[in-house]
Amino acid sequence: MNSITHSAEPQSQILLNDQKYVWHPYSSLSNPIPAYEVVSAEGVKLRLADGTELIDGMSSWWCTIHGYNHPVLNNAAVQQIGKVSHVMFGGITHAPAVNLCEKLVEITPAGLDKVFLADSGSVAVEVAIKMVFQYWISKGQPEKNKLLSLRNGYHGDTFAAMSVCDPVTGMHHLFEQVVEKHYFAPAPQTGFDQPWDEQDIAEFSQMISDHSHRLAAVILEPVVQGAGGMRFYSPYYLKRVRELCDKHNVLLIADEIATGFGRTGKLFACEWADISPDVLCLGKAITGGYMTLAATLCTDKVSRGICEGEAGCFMHGPTFMGNPLACSVANASIDLLLSADWQSNIQRIESTLKQQLVQFSQLKSVASTRALGAIGVIEMHDPVNMAEIQKQFVEAGVWVRPFGKLVYVMPPFISSDENLIQLMAAIFSVLEP
């Protein structure tokens, strides 16, 4: 991730070569911002090359839920790499993948009985979209080839995923003329804890009714819209979407890449509405942040519909699908999460975040604050200067990476109250005048 170094300090050869050769995500090569060099990490802390330690408030883009260098996950990786680190998944199977798929079916919402393993969150979304399209092609309804998404949504950086991100305010609006055109309903306006207003679903209801003959599926992020604005919305909205999809014969894709594995206070955010999607996308925290891995789950209805069609199979197969090393670590990560009282722990984190967010209301630069599960958000009136504020956060001893008007945290689940208080105090010290 990009940030800036202290200009007065000499740069290491690693940092010089980084600027010379490396293209970081969402970074400019014409006006590069040097990166901080991390040399090790332990628990919730990152250690920089100059010895500085930073409390990580981002869980390395929301995935290192158990923190860094965890002995259980380390051991799972070491044990597996001594057996087989990778083998093709075409025509071959192995215990780590089979056990992981069984585990995912057991813990996800009811009815999601088939698992397709993928490489990353964006690929999981690509797989989900391809699944619903091939389903309707196999059912003899190829005209159902459009998707209904929500404004302020974010689903990844690859082309099909970009096509269902917000086309105006989203980070991929530059590609509006080259991605496939789909339908977009207004973002939910009823907050997570607010009384339900049926009017909030009215335009969505009209759109799914008008276009049901063209719609393969609805795709959304349950309860929490992540990179599109860190917005928390009413679970009842999600319940109504499920009802309307059933009514109009449209499949439902739930993108839980950011929310899965306990982040919102439920194991999966769909549980807040007590609904089950037809297709579920998982990623990020699935391996505890150790390795890239993702999964797309679907119902027997979807899998049968695809496999009973002309092709006779699902037409997709990533090279590193079912990677044994990643699957072994994923099994260990999920077992580690479920072996503890994770729900009470997430409630503790939410309570501490809410307590710490109260102080931010006194800052004139702050528009609002909110917290849900292990997610804390400070929304500013104006966009932050990312390069400058990143430097200030590092000087304050924390790793926080804002975007737009949002300064937010998604800390590791192992963060102590003291860690959280230090994290929020550092953010406050940077934001106050």
Q: Which residues are catalytic?
A: 26, 154, 255, 284
**Which runs of E-coded beta strand occur in 2-157?**
38-42, 45-48, 53-56, 112-118, 146-150
For 413, how many CA atoms within 13 A lie in the half-sphere containing its CB?
Answer: 28
Helices 417-431, 386-395: crossing angle, 10 deg rounding: 130
Count CB atoms within 10 A of the CB of residue 385.
Answer: 11
Burial environment of residue 159 by CB neighbours within 10 A (0 to 12, 13 to 18, 19 or more): middle
* Residue 40, CA distances (Å) to 34, 69, 108, 409, 419 in order: 19, 9, 34, 21, 18
Distance set, CA 219 to CA 40, 70, 277, 325 (Å):
38, 34, 10, 30
Q: Report the candidate in 385, 398, 386 with the shortest Cα–Cα distance to residue 429.
A: 398
Q: What is the DSSP string of 215-284?
A: EEEEEE-SSEE-TTT-EEB-HHHHHHHHHHHHHTT-EEEEE-TTTTTTTTSSSSGGGGTT---SEEEE-G
Q: Is residue 69 classed exposed, middle or buried when 0-12, 13-18 and 19+ CB atoms within 10 A define those classes?
A: middle
Beta bridge partners of 74: none
Spatial neighbors of 58 by CB under 8 A, at least 6 apart, are 399, 400, 401, 409, 410, 411
As to burial, measured by CB atoms within 10 angstroms (0-12 exposed, 13-18 middle, 19+ buried), residue 308 is exposed
Token representation of residue 61: 């883009």
